[in-house]
Amino acid sequence: MDNAVAALEHDRGRLGRSSTAERVADILRDRIAEGLFAPGQRLSEEAIGAALGVSRNTLREAFRLLGHERLLEHRLNRGVFVRVLSAEDVADVYRVRRVIEGAAVRNSPRAAPEAFAAIRETVADALRAAREDRWQDVGTANIRFHQTLVTLNGSPRLDETMRQLLAELRLVFHVMENPRAFHEPFVARNLELLELMEAGRVAEAERALEDYLDDAERLLVRAYTPHP
């Protein structure tokens, strides 16, 4: 029985999690991710506060949270705006991804086997979604692939950093008018990367990752600048 009580320790994380401000932040984060609030759009305190039925003070706390996640931009005395990523921002995000995901690949020989199973699951999800023409879901699965890849580092902080980077990228994915053309080619490449790692061919995996990130970045910035 003492043992059963000790087991509860594990569930403690689920306890604290609530507070109006955080729940408001969750809602807004989702809406931004799905593009309902477009980048550059201003979020009025009064309008949103009224819509969600929370006071301005509480809403401002939520804004602060999202501001620190770089999803909102706070301009003094002018309000909060959905973040607009510059081409330079996109380049920087990919710079960081190369560092963090590259480290994950290099660390893959020392990673726990369960982690690979989790990665394989995201590939399966992507393949299934692709078969059923759900290209938005393919994109989501691809994102989860890379999020899970980072867990090979075994570092909660790197996981959190990656989570934030991918949230930022979602701000930009909406400029791709053709989700299929953007997401489809990467499914096979993710699978290839996974199998290289499982085979212990680290150098090749590292190279595959580099190519992947180079291509993805190129596609994004091309769609981002007025086409030549």
Q: How far apart are CA 102 and CA 153, in angstroms?
A: 10
| CB neighbours of residue 2 within 10 Å | 6
Using CA atoms, how far residue 153 sits from 110, 128, 195, 223, in Å, is 9, 27, 18, 32
Site membership for DNA, residue 68 (CB under 7 A): no
Residue closer to a copy of itself, measured from CB, 1 or 76? 76
Site membership for a copy of itself, residue 12 (CB under 8 A): no
Site membership for a copy of itself, residue 7 (CB under 8 A): no
Q: Is 191 exposed, middle or buried (0-12, 13-18, 19+ CB in 10 A)?
A: middle
Q: How far apart are CA 19 and CA 9, in angstroms?
A: 22
Site membership for DNA, residue 20 (CB under 7 A): yes
Shortest Å distance, C-beta 21 to a copy of itself:
8
Shortest Å distance, C-beta 167 to DNA:
22
Site string for DNA, 28-57 (x = CB under 7 A): --------------xxxxx------xxxxx
Give the count of alpha carbons within 13 A of 37, CB side only: 20
Q: Which of 33, 52, 87, 96 binds a copy of itself (CB under 8 A)?
A: 96
DSSP-based three-state secondary structure for 74: strand
* Binding span for a copy of itself by CB under 8 A among 87-95, 113-121, 176-184, 194-202: 87-95
* Residues lying near DNA in the complex (CB under 7 A): 19-21, 42-46, 53-58, 60-61, 74, 76-79
